Amino acid sequence: MSYGGYLYLDLNYVPKESDFLVLAWVKGDAPLEVLAEGLAAESSVGTWTKISTMSENIFRDYRARVYHLVHVKNNSGFVYLAYPYEHFDSKNLLQFLASVLGNVYGLKEIEELMILDIKFPKRFQNMFPGPKYGLDGIRKYIGTTKTRRPHVGTIVKPKVGLSPEEWSDVAYKCYVNGMDFVKDDENLVDQDFCRWRDRFDLVFDKMSKAENKTGERKLYASNITDQDIHRMYERIDYIAERGGKCVMLDVFMLGFALTYELVKYAHKKRLIVHAHRAGYAAMHRGVYGYDFKILLKIYRMLGVDQLHIGTGVGKMEGSSKYISYLHELAVNRKVRKIPYLGCLDFKYSPHIKPVMPVASGGLDAGKGDALSVIHGKDFVFQGGGGVHGHPLGVEGGAKSFRQAADAIAKCIALPKYAKKHKELKIALDYFGYVDPKIIKEEIKMMDNSEALLNNLVYRYGIEILRHLRDEGARIPRPS
């Protein structure tokens, strides 16, 4: 079989270290081989028909090769593609993505296309800066390098509507009651009822007051996301001039080029970059798009210092096993391939530092022990509703998170720690306690059944993969 008159199937091909590798799920209106050929052709040198301008050299040196296929049905399955390094503009991520995440989504005969993973070769990674501060730099700034306790953070709620005075009062209460970090939500920037600069000034002053009072360093991640790059530069300049240390970007909304540019600029001004991923799920869920792990790799390479990666136990999708894999991808240099989660072997270039993972979305203090199974101690334990919805109000909520983080650092189970910590006890009674044993068991079960789960996914396809990735192995949870 061939697509446009050329053969892209090369099942004996052994990928080179310098190749880009792509793993995709595809289903369509043709045999899998034809669909795979279409993907390879359209994303590299080919088109729908034979062309007089093609040469042997071009085809040999620049084409994508389908080096492995796993059939699920005649017209669906997993496709492994290898692209030669020379195919790409090696200083330009967007050119690479326009090939691999580009035209292929529009091919008529394709009904489902989920790009599950990409392996970027080391040579390509070398053009990216990686985080300037990342996990270790932020720990150093906050002063938790030795204790390794999780950082605690909050998103002031309601997301929008509070005035600068109200907003900064809430932030102050959080800072003085143990929080390291306060951030704007993804949809709060410079609305009329809460102008960006008014909010920044008040929060910054109150944060400094809280630092003096507690003797601890604090961070405020101010959301500067805007359609106008000049306004964003101005805000970064302003934060830096005032002595601020952190800035927040809605990275998915900004896109890769603006994220790259703004991270560089913020780092030049010595600001830590907090990345919110709002919008990622439009690509990641369903059967058309690309998996969040690809974004995570890119954002880490681009150099964000903190990144939302999901929780495994909160309100956003993501099974405990999948989120623990994302955690590894955020902090480790190397991760191994797990076909049932759609992962390839991957290794970051040595200069790309770990990014601080942010666990956020539907969290309260009672989920702390379960979270630590997934994230260890290196993460930002971040809550909105779980802080501001605590029965004792914002102060009680902030204290309950800090107490939970202290307990995790000391390896004391939350119910035990709660005996001497009132706010934590109230949080456990009100929100409930998620038993870490359930999470441990679920991850262990998935690890022990890896061969079986791989077989299931290779046999039944994306539906099973999505289930394992998004929901897990469905261990019934006690009510």
Q: Does 38 bind ligand 3PG (CB under 6 A)?
A: no
Least Å from the CB of residue 400 to ligand 3PG: 13
Least Å from the CB of residue 406 to ligand 3PG: 20
Residue nearest ligand 3PG by beta-carbon distance: 384
Q: Would you call 195 exposed, middle or buried from its count of C-beta atoms within 10 A (0-12, 13-18, 19+)?
A: middle
Tell me which of 15, 150, 361, 366 binds ligand 3PG, using CB under 6 A: 361
Tell me which of 155, 188, 239, 343 binds ligand 3PG, using CB under 6 A: 155
Longest dimension (CA), the chain: 79
Least Å from the CB of residue 179 to ligand 3PG: 13
Site for ligand 3PG in 306-325 (CB under 6 A): 308, 315
Least Å from the CB of residue 139 to ligand 3PG: 21
Site for ligand 3PG in 455-474 (CB under 6 A): none
Least Å from the CB of residue 152 to ligand 3PG: 12
Site for ligand 3PG in 183-242 (CB under 6 A): 185-186
289 vs 386, beta carbon nearer ligand 3PG:
386
Of 157, 183, 218, 399, catalytic? 157
The two tokens of residue 143 are 């002063």
27 vs 274, beta carbon nearer ligand 3PG:
274
Rounded-to-integer distance, Cα 43 and Cα 97, Å:
9
331 vs 363, beta carbon nearer ligand 3PG:
363
Q: How many residues bind ligand 3PG (CB under 6 A)?
A: 14
45 vs 313, beta carbon nearer ligand 3PG:
313
Tell me which of 84, 312, 386, 461 binds ligand 3PG, using CB under 6 A: 386
Rounded-to-integer distance, Cα 306 and Cα 389, Å:
25
User: What is the pattern of x (binds ligand 3PG, CB under 6 A) and - over residues 109-148?
Assistant: ----------------------------------------
Tell me which of 76, 324, 360, 400 binds ligand 3PG, using CB under 6 A: 360
276 an active-site residue? yes
Residue type, 15: P
Cβ-based neighbours of 98, under 8 Å, separated by 6 or more: none
Rounded-to-integer distance, Cα 332 and Cα 352, Å:
10
Select from 67-75, 258-266, 358-366, 409-417 the region that touches ligand 3PG (CB under 6 A): 358-366
Q: Are 132 and 208 in contact (CB under 8 A)?
A: no
User: What is the pattern of x (binds ligand 3PG, CB under 6 A) and - over residues 366-385?
Assistant: -----------------xxx
Select from 89-97, 209-217, 336-344, 360-368 the region that touches ligand 3PG (CB under 6 A): 360-368
Of 183, 245, 276, 375, catalytic? 276
**Which residues lie near ligand 3PG (CB under 6 A)?**
155, 157, 185-186, 308, 315, 360-363, 383-386
Active site residues: 157, 276
